[in-house]
Structure 1
Amino acid sequence: MAIEAIKTKKELSEAVYGFRASRIILTAFELGLFSKLGENSLNAAQLAAASATEPRACERLLNALCVLGLLKKAGGRFRNTKISRDHLVAGKPQFMAGLTHSASQWQTWHTLSAAVRRGTSVIKRQANRKDEKRRRGFIAAMHERASAQAPRIVRLLDLAAVSRCLDIGAGSGAYAMALARAKKSLRVVAFDLPEVLPLTREYVRRERLLPRIDFAPGDFNRGGFGSGYDLIMLSAIVHMNNAQQNRRLIARAAAALNRGGQLVVQDFIMGPDRTRPGLGALFALNMLVATAHGDSYTAVEIGGWMRAAGLKKIKKKDAPFDAALLIGWKE
């Protein structure tokens, strides 16, 4: 997803009113309209009954989806177009399950003005972490991106002397699986919260990699990670924490490395003025509205935490997308 600078009044207007198309798509997705249509052709009354919506309002939404090219209307009946059929119908191979998380993000992003005033998220969070639907949506969204990026990231790593890896905050296990596939003799441990690991296991089972990957429950901001690792992966993790939390996290990760081991941080790694990469600058606002302390960090900041943990030979590697790697070695 490229971020283009706004240069004309027309482009400015399109950016300002872009929320309308987003909201139309997300509402239709949340109501399950695309999946209810599937391969069928239905009228508005049928879809309203199937989605428990008011018939007139449902038809107006369906008409708007036709304008966006996601539905076609003929004789008062609606059907999916190829793009909606391929990507918005549950069960299809390219189904964008992560849009559940996108719908959740809508609820956080509308608080941006208040978050900027306060300097932190204003979203009230439940004390427990039992929202299974939201958790599944989040992991699905992360997997959609990570499963495409992980193999390309892993190809940038030196695995010659690596026999045991730890993937901290494994999520769907996309990086753990990419590491396992990259080197057949590699043993990988996927570390995440106890309520997340059953989902991790589902994704790993689906790819038939259970014999190659172990699972370790825990909170990456509490306790240690054991020892004996040649490579530890922190992919899309440091942006969730504040600086002090990251300093401690990286110190504990470094302590778990063997001598000669490497710690790999993959994230949006910002330039000194924090405007590049563009997606990282926007993502910093996502962290502002959604987390208590998260941010997008610079190479100087992340490198400083690595050096404080005793890591050496720190180097940055650019990835073929906006995120990058910072790698430090334990001597």
Structure 2
Amino acid sequence: MNLPDLLQLSGGYWSTCTLHAGVKLDIFTCLTDSAMTTPELARQLSADERGLGMLLHALTALELLHKEENTFRSTAFSATYLSKKSDSYMGHIIMHHHHLVEGWSRLDEAVLRGEPVRQRLSHEALERERESFLMGMFNLASLNAPRIASALELSGHRRMLDLAGGPGTYAIHFCLHNPDLTAVVYDLPTTRPFAEQTIRHFGLSERITFQAGDVLSDRFGTGYDLVWISHLLHSESPADSATVVAKAAESLADGGRLLIQEFILDNTKTAPLFPALFSLNMLLGTRAGQSYTQQELFALMNTAGLCEVNRLSLDLPNGAGVMTGTACR
């Protein structure tokens, strides 16, 4: 690293906060169908003209808006991913990132205390964050789920458990790619409305059901050909992760498969970069969560009695990987 890179690293949050403000104010939706001047958009948003003008110019500098004479319009890219009128809208995950900023600004406190520092929220604010988180997970999973589902050979699999499945994105895409597959999305009761709405949107209500429960204290059922656990273990301690994996293994039929997706560290824990940073994100928001190494995930699955444990050859972003193991009884 050189000095310019260091300063860019230090001040990079300026661009991040500019993007977050644009999404929070829904500027890209407003400017998708027609160009508007700053005063026109300020009236629509009940915003200050001076402040809005500065934001619009900064978003243009980031190549997220296009300016022609005195009017602004969304670019093709921002209209696709940042407008609520688009089926590819990614604003939910961006707002989830926005909600994490306050905690990250107190990372030094979390390191000294070894515990979460995120502030307690009002019920209304908590509901907004929950929606951003769940639909943000839908945003992210929608990028990877079709790729993973098409890469897996699931012929002969009939019953799937999507454990802590949130809005059911993976269950949906696995079922879309495998017509004989049915699925259960298992998550907390508060997740049910989001899951059932998403499942209904894809026309899969007859093949995918929702089961409410707690992954640590409740049972999952038995006889599943496939159990999918995506980005759950990093929220839990090693001991609780072992409990979840053991219970998942017990829910498999003989010969059934357990698949675990995580942001996976190498065994030195110094790379890849994203899982290393994500471990800090868990420090900020959970009591004992962390990113796990491939070796640690292997150990969890072997201890649960699974055989043929290995990592699938998949090229996924942000250091993500999928581990697989088979129930051999």
* Number of matched pairs: 325
> Which structure 2 residues correspond to residues 276-295 of structure 1 after superposition, within 5 A?
276-295=271-290
> Shift of residue 53 of structure 1?
2.6
Which residue does the alignment assign to 1:245? 240
| Structure 1 residues 157 and 124, CA gap change in structure 2 (3 angstroms) | same
Q: Is the 8 A contact 1:190 1:214 kept in 2?
A: yes
> Which structure 2 residues correspond to residues 195-210 of structure 1 after superposition, within 5 A?
195-210=190-205
User: Is 2:135 aligned against 1:140?
Assistant: yes
Which residue does the alignment assign to 2:224? 229
Which residue does the alignment assign to 1:41? 35
One of 180, 185, 193 as aligned partner of 2:180: 185
Q: Deviations over 1:4-59 (max 9, x none)?
A: xxx33322222222111111111121122222233233332332232233222222
Which residue does the alignment assign to 2:324? 327
User: Is 2:224 aligned against 1:258?
Assistant: no
| Structure 1 residues 26 and 205, CA gap change in structure 2 (3 angstroms) | same
Q: TM-score, normalised by structure 2?
A: 0.91
Q: Is the 8 A contact 1:169 1:190 kept in 2?
A: yes
Distance 1:73 1:315 in 2: 51
> Which structure 2 residues correspond to residues 1-331 of structure 1 after superposition, within 5 A?
7-98=1-92, 99-126=94-121, 131-321=126-316, 322-331=319-328
Distance 2:57 2:122 in 1: 41
| Structure 1 residues 109 and 166, CA gap change in structure 2 (3 angstroms) | same
Q: TM-score, normalised by structure 1?
A: 0.90
Distance 1:54 1:31 in 2: 12
Q: Is the 8 A contact 1:43 1:76 kept in 2?
A: yes
SS in 1 for 2:30: helix
SS in 2 for 1:211: coil
Counterpart AA for 2:74: N
| Structure 1 residues 72 and 300, CA gap change in structure 2 (3 angstroms) | closer
Distance 2:56 2:249 in 1: 54
Shifted more, 122-131 versus 175-184: the winner is 122-131
SS in 2 for 1:159: coil
SS in 1 for 2:323: strand
| Structure 1 residues 129 and 158, CA gap change in structure 2 (3 angstroms) | farther
Identity of paired residues, percent?
A: 31
Q: Is the 8 A contact 2:245 2:300 kept in 1?
A: yes
SS in 2 for 1:195: helix
Distance 2:177 2:66 in 1: 44
Q: CA RMSD in A?
A: 2.1
Q: Is the 8 A contact 1:97 1:140 kept in 2?
A: no
